[in-house]
Structure 1
Amino acid sequence: KYEKYSEPENTVHCRSQIIFSIVLRSPKFNSTKKYGVVLLVLSAEYERSEREEIRNSWASNKESNTLKTGDSLVIFLVGRSFELDEEASTYGDLLQADIKETYRNLVYKLEVGYRWLNKNVKFDYVAKIDSDTVVHIDRLYNLLEYID
């Protein structure tokens, strides 16, 4: 159940193997499409107003042509909560990990998000975004296309 490993300072940590495979809720997306960039927005379950603001601003079809054309995808990564049913069914953009929302669990929540994306979504790039960050999706998309 647990894997022990040592860090250079000889401190021993335990990491649950099962934590990486439990997703409580998956977002709606086109599984046959390959997205140019997926924006994985790290959010806490209690940050509903922040998610709403993001949906109405930089992550809206009005503000982003690549969202409108389906070349990019925004997914909010949240932890365990039973109060997200209405929001999830309304927007279909929540990826919910079965992980308690704590600062120390952020790395595990992110690991769940990356593994789920890698297994379920076709994409060229993924960007991890914090919920207090503003992104110009089209510029990011164009920059990544230019670099590629």
Structure 2
Amino acid sequence: MITILAAAAALGLFGQNAVAVPAEAAWTWTLYADDAPVVLANEVPDTANLRTTLECSPGSSVARLTLYGGEPATGMARITAGEAAAVAQSEAARGGALRLALRTDHPVFAAFGVSGRLGVAVGEQRRTVEVPAAHLAKLRRFAELCSG
């Protein structure tokens, strides 16, 4: 009897693990370009879980970057990608998010489109946005749709 219960418990655990998706695998980059505004989101689809959003009005050449999680910070932000750098005013947003605006025609945004890596520093707080190579085409399309 104990052997049967142990086997059933093992099968139950195996069954749960077989269908469980690692938490990191659920995160993806999604481009929403059907309506204004255009949004590129690092999210778990069909949930309210967001890490990062880039949002713009088509043709405006201005991307609004929102970083979720972490401590909100306000003040001047230093934004870097590759060898390029920019400075922008950051502000705290709902839910403790950090928000700033960056021109899509700025060299730092162009470098971000190539490398997929953007650094944001506000005071002592450092955050990084990373777009994997498989999703860089979405980032470039976002920039194309936003540029005027």
Structure 1 and Structure 2 fold alike (TM over 0.5): no
- Going by fraction, where is strand more abundant, 1 or 2? 2
* Structure with the larger RCO, 1 or 2 (CA within 8 Å, 6+ apart): 1
